[in-house]
């Protein structure tokens, strides 16, 4: 269905497909035979050593080198400045919410809000690669 990719990113379709297949396997196997579907599970070592390298290699292979190098300064500027700005906007907003009492009696230290903001401010590499592919 090629019309779906016009309004829904490919990564969302793949996540939905994986959930549907996993749900179907779990439904067919049932709860009593959980050991039968044990082979479908994998740990972080399998992901980092076997699944992630081909993904990164494919993304690097399809990347337009000339456009990337020509725009490297802008890319780094947006990545660094945008991420730092995002951290302080989110962290500052959380600090302000704490001062205004939106968290009730739960006290949050300012450093904790900035650490949390740095965790959620990271750029999604899948989205960046999708934009690079779309641009050419």
Cα gap 85→4, rounded to integer Å: 34
Share of residues in the chain with pLDDT > 70 (%): 81
Q: Residue 133: which of 68, 73, 83 has the closest Cα?
A: 68
- Matching residue, tokens 């725009």: 71
- Matching residue, tokens 């190098």: 69
**pLDDT higher than 70, residue 29:** yes
The larger pLDDT score, comparing residue 24 to residue 33, is at 24
Mean pLDDT to the nearest integer, 29-45: 70
Q: Which two tokens stand for residue 104?
A: 């009730």
Q: Could you tell me if 68 and 131 are in contact, meaning their C-beta atoms sit under 8 angstroms apart?
A: no
pLDDT of residue 36: 64
Q: Could you tell me if 114 and 91 are in contact, meaning their C-beta atoms sit under 8 angstroms apart?
A: yes
* Residue pLDDT, tens place only, 55-92: 888 888 888 788 888 988 998 888 888 889 999 999 99
Cα gap 49→85, rounded to integer Å: 33
């Amino acid at each position: 269905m090629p019309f779906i990719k016009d309004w829904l990113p490919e990564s969302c379709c793949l996540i939905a497909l994986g959930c549907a297949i996993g749900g179907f396997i779990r439904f067919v196997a049932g709860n009593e035979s959980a050991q039968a579907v044990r082979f479908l599970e994998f740990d972080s070592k399998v992901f980092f050593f076997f699944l992630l390298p081909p993904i990164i290699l494919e993304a690097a292979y399809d990347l337009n080198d000339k456009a990337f190098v020509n725009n490297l300064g802008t890319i780094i500027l947006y990545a660094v400045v945008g991420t730092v700005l995002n951290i302080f906007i989110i962290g500052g907003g959380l600090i302000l919410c704490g001062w205004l009492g939106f968290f009730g009696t739960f006290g949050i230290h300012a450093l904790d809000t900035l650490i949390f903001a740095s965790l959620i401010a990271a750029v999604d590499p899948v989205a960046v690669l999708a934009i690079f592919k779309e641009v050419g």
